Chains A and B, each alone.
Chain A
């Protein structure tokens, strides 16, 4: 069965082609996030947030998607700061934050559509925006644990991974390739298996530990130099010993045969 036949067969059975593309997107993004985390050292908000963000980018476009995602994130920070003065239960606080974020987002979209020549809501689907809004709780939980500085860095890294995933997945090569070679998705299994066993330093760690690496390099070099000098001295000593031993043997060697008559 050829690849084209597989695709044609799937269409014949009634599975829409876009469903197959969708099937390829989520595991691919998940694998890219894993690569980003374990190889590069990006610290995104779990795996769920980049997946949702990338899917939102695919629907909204990367520019508009980044704007909306950033708005949701910044309004979460703002909402938390506003609520700091009030002492409320955790779930009520989250509920307030969601409400505030939606209202602020609505105000932004409303003002933007007033100022912009076109009405954005007409052209952009609502569902991806709602998807991005659902990430508020994830941002908020991390804010509580890590503080604002950490959360800002994590958000930027999430945007980078999501943008990279968007560029890969939205490329014609990927959509055509996945569409015509469904079996390629099976490669994600061995890739993830390799990543599962990856023990090397992340790129971010190489940067973080650069002073330790320099210190270790200096130490290893000194040890190597000392080791080679010791080996040379040992060799010299053993050679001198050998020469002395040979000389001694020569000296103790019995003289030429003397005939005793």
Chain B
């Protein structure tokens, strides 16, 4: 396939703003569902009725007189002020506590607010400074409790701010998810367009994969320095469960749910969005349309079924994160490998068996010929050693006798005695390189007659233990249909 058609096929899998607005948001989300999702207070009431766990709304201020007559001292030490029709995190004001000396409320980056300042902020919310453009009703103020972040998320996130998990669902099937982390630069907000970090999540395991900030890849959190991939999201199944319940109750067929992890109460639905952002595709390095196409014809029988579909279809990227943590590459039991001999002679796409039951790596004679070991094999054959021995001791004795003839051989490193089943053989050992899943490593391998065997090469423990992790579920065609 030429590159141009490949490019168009690839762009066809990516969801852009034009298509999202025309074919998804308007097509799949009824007006009523959209209106409910746009109004944070209305969606809170509906979800509370059906038992979806959420952070509590402490107070709602709808008019100027409500604001003027309200005392912020009645609130707990920390809370969040947000507009009911806000979007993208703009307009949210996080208050962490009170300064004992000044009596002012303390926000992100230590900024202080007096009660008057907070009231003026609420008044600016009423004047629609932070509202959605197409919000038909007047905006009003919601004061919500501030969540105590789960300790594991607190470790990798910035000190202030609230990390959350965004899950995109199509007809209640979770199709993509990302962990959003706040940074100092984003002012404690986790929204990507404000400078937060997005980390893709493997739906099967709830483990993070690829991290981006402002559409550029990063490996470590800029404030904490902690590696962002390979992190396991706690309560992952429960998180998916409440996200599915939230969109189902509100009636969104294509929406996004933001979930936060509370230290004591576990996953809580923060909000539901009818207009999902598209940066999640960069965090997951995959287009949304491609995933939607895979589930388009599926009608989940239940919410549990929807969750299982999402987890089964859209997992598997964990290998990269395992590789990043351990420095080893995950390979399957059967894999495709490239072999490199002396003078860079190469044999590509050889089907091999990664056998943790075998100690040494063994390659077939024909493969050795192709790699350029003709002379080595010729010289070894000239030693006229018996093809097999019944007694291992006999083989060892023979090996000691003939070893001196190959001591200074340019290609044969040594002779090895290998017991395979009831038969013991003496084999020449050579130095080659093997490449699997993009990792190329130098190894020593013995050459044997494997013409009657299924695999032309077997990779043994001595090679595997240093460089590769064998996943018995992994097939060498990782993108199985």
Residues of A within 8 A of B (CB): 38, 87-91, 141, 144-147, 150, 197-202, 205-206, 208-209, 211-217, 219-224, 226
In addition to A87-B117, A200-B18, 18 A-B residue pairs with Cβ atoms within 8 Å of each other are: A87-B116, A88-B120, A144-B130, A150-B193, A197-B22, A205-B17, A205-B278, A209-B282, A211-B285, A212-B282, A212-B286, A212-B287, A213-B10, A213-B14, A216-B290, A220-B10, A221-B6, A226-B479
Which residues of the other chain, A, contact B13 by a CB distance below 8 angstroms? 216
B7, chain A: closest CB distance, angstroms: 7
Among B319-337, those with CB < 8 Å from A are none
Which of B121-129, B220-228, B256-264, B387-395 forms part of the interface with chain A? B121-129
Asked if B366 lies at the interface with its beta carbon under 8 angstroms from chain A, I say no
Do A141 and B120 have beta carbons less than 8 Å apart?
A: no
Asked if B453 lies at the interface with its beta carbon under 8 angstroms from chain A, I say no
The 23 sampled A-B contact pairs (Cβ below 8 Å) are: A87-B120, A89-B127, A90-B127, A145-B91, A147-B194, A201-B18, A202-B16, A205-B278, A209-B282, A211-B217, A211-B285, A212-B281, A212-B286, A213-B10, A213-B11, A215-B286, A216-B9, A216-B11, A216-B13, A216-B286, A217-B6, A219-B286, A220-B6
Given A199-B22, A213-B10, is A141 in contact with B129 using a C-beta cutoff of 8 Å? yes
Asked if B435 lies at the interface with its beta carbon under 8 angstroms from chain A, I say no
Number of interface residues of B (CB under 8 A): 38
Do A199 and B18 have beta carbons less than 8 Å apart?
A: yes
**Most chain A beta carbons < 10 A, residue from B10, B19, B23, B217:** B10
A92, chain B: closest CB distance, angstroms: 11
Do A222 and B479 have beta carbons less than 8 Å apart?
A: yes
Interface of B is mostly: helix
Asked if B411 lies at the interface with its beta carbon under 8 angstroms from chain A, I say no
A109, chain B: closest CB distance, angstroms: 31
**What separation, in Å, do the CA atoms of A200 and B285 have in the docked complex?**
19
Contact with A along B146-185 (1 / 0, CB 8 A): 0000000000000000000000000000000000000000
Do A90 and B124 have beta carbons less than 8 Å apart?
A: yes
Do B127 and A145 have beta carbons less than 8 Å apart?
A: no
Asked if B1 lies at the interface with its beta carbon under 8 angstroms from chain A, I say yes
**What separation, in Å, do the CA atoms of A198 and B17 have in the docked complex?**
10
Contact with A along B185-201 (1 / 0, CB 8 A): 00000000110000000
Given A206-B11, A212-B287, A213-B14, is A145 in contact with B130 using a C-beta cutoff of 8 Å? yes
**What separation, in Å, do the CA atoms of A90 and B3 have in the docked complex?**
54
**What separation, in Å, do the CA atoms of A198 and B282 have in the docked complex?**
23
Which residues of the other chain, A, contact B116 by a CB distance below 8 angstroms? 87
Do B16 and A205 have beta carbons less than 8 Å apart?
A: yes
Contact with A along B273-298 (1 / 0, CB 8 A): 00000100110011100100000000
**What separation, in Å, do the CA atoms of A223 and B477 have in the docked complex?**
8
Which residues of the other chain, A, contact B123 by a CB distance below 8 angstroms? 89-90
> Which residue on chain A has the smallest CB distance to residue B16?
A201
Do A202 and B17 have beta carbons less than 8 Å apart?
A: yes
Do A224 and B1 have beta carbons less than 8 Å apart?
A: yes
A15, chain B: closest CB distance, angstroms: 36
Do B287 and A216 have beta carbons less than 8 Å apart?
A: yes
> Which residue on chain A has the smallest CB distance to residue B187?
A147
